[in-house]
A and B are shown apart, each in its own frame.
Chain A
């Protein structure tokens, strides 16, 4: 890895713009996330939170500006328009830095928990089956599912499925982990078990975590920094005790107030 790549922040948005039709989702958006930081992004629905993560996972593109992951630019510019990088090799290299956990788990239903976790290393890192499955087993034990290796997703509870999904994303040893509302689809009593796994991951100092959530408990438990997003702009950011307990911006206050009433 070159010197610039290691010095570069884990994630950088520079004047990034993104629209869906007439709706501007990101409006000249700037954000730097240093390596190892645990950033929690909050904000009202439609504020562009999930889109941030989807752009980093290369599931969405941007219209202008720049996005970098671990020093690699996510877009190429031709004719003044930002495009996905040319060449599958580069795209796959960039994706290799990033792991993502989804709101609806998105496990592969036809694979057992073990196969779900082992399939990334086997297929995209070309590990041997034995090696990949041994690692997958260790990861599943780490998320407390050592007794569910052979279970299929349909046989697991939501909380268990989400823990498998976290193990699956971690199996590729990403530098940046994206969590897109990962506790929102869970029954309240199942949130704790997923949050516990995420806290344990957060203790890994080298792992950069980007967490989008509606649940302030999740934000408090994980965040080094909380960012409040509205209408595609960063309205306020800072340590959790500042943003969540003593917000300066009136919009942040309004949002947190509405959450407390709900």
Chain B
């Protein structure tokens, strides 16, 4: 335990980096996911490139994507700092997963609700923002929460492109002190707690958005 205490500031710094990468990449992934998920229902000229993006980023490993951003792009004249690489790389990758969640929820959205919106003479945008998204987001939330937990765990990959996140720091401590068990235990607990926070947040949001109108059928 002394080891952990001695290196606490290093570990906290690493934790900060992990949180930063996860939050920023998560926001990017959600924004991308919603935009591309919507775009896939658009005209073919938009839908097809988006489809290719989703398949490429889902079908290749996140690690390879990070390596391309960090090691290959500079050779082509584009040099990004490690944090940008990590955020953009993970954001693109998980954006592709989010995109599928959004697309699925929109595809399964009841046609009758859209027809009711037509009967009320709403515009396409009003239908999307007032009728479709408030309901579809609720369907997406559990899956999106899941993806955010996955993203948190995948954020440890940024340690391999020199970013000093929690995993990076724990491995440094391991190499310096050879206290593998302690360092690994810290990682285990830290990621678990962060994952719980994300799950809790997703559930709270779900309850807040849907609590008023769902599951209170008994109050007839």
Contact = CB atoms under 8 A, between A and B. Distances in A.
Q: Do A and B bind each other?
A: yes
A154 B217 CA distance: 5
A156 interface: yes
A168 B214 contact: no
B219 interface: yes
A168 B131 CA distance: 15
Interface string B107-124: 000001101101111110
A157 B215 CA distance: 15
A192 B104 CA distance: 40
Given A96-B121, A109-B213, A154-B213, A102 B116 contact: yes
Nearest to A150: B212
Contact of B121 (A92, A107, A110): A92
Contacts of A152: 212-213, 216
Contacts of B116: 102, 106-108
Contacts of A95: 118-119, 121
Interface in A157-175: 157, 168-169, 172
Interface string A98-117: 11101010111111100000
Given A107-B116, A119-B130, A123-B130, A156 B220 contact: yes
Nearest to B129: A123
A95 B113 CA distance: 16
Contacts of B122: 119-120, 123-124
Given A108-B131, A124-B121, A155 B115 contact: no
| Size class of the B contact interface (CB-based, 8 Å) | 20 to 34
| Size class of the A contact interface (CB-based, 8 Å) | 20 to 34
B120 A155 contact: no
Contacts of A155: 216-217, 219-220
Given A108-B131, A110-B134, A99 B219 contact: no
Contact of B135 (A106, A110, A123, A156): A110
B126 interface: yes
A123 B124 CA distance: 11
A104 B113 contact: no
B120 A120 contact: yes
Contacts of B131: 108
A64 interface: no
A58 interface: yes
A145 to B, nearest CB: 13
A88 interface: yes
Contact of A120 (B121, B138, B220): B121
A59 interface: yes
Given A110-B213, A123-B126, A172 B219 contact: no
B120, B122, B130: residue with the most chain A Cβ atoms closer than 10 Å: B120
B217 A108 contact: no
Contacts of A98: 119
A20 to B, nearest CB: 15
A96, A99, A124, A157: residue with the most chain B Cβ atoms closer than 10 Å: A124
A100 B119 contact: yes
Contact of B214 (A59, A102, A108, A154): A154
Given A88-B123, A123-B126, A152-B213, A58 B113 contact: no
B92 to A, nearest CB: 32
B115 A106 contact: yes
17 contacts: A58-B118, A95-B121, A102-B116, A106-B115, A108-B113, A108-B116, A109-B135, A109-B213, A124-B120, A124-B126, A152-B213, A154-B213, A154-B216, A155-B217, A156-B220, A157-B220, A172-B121
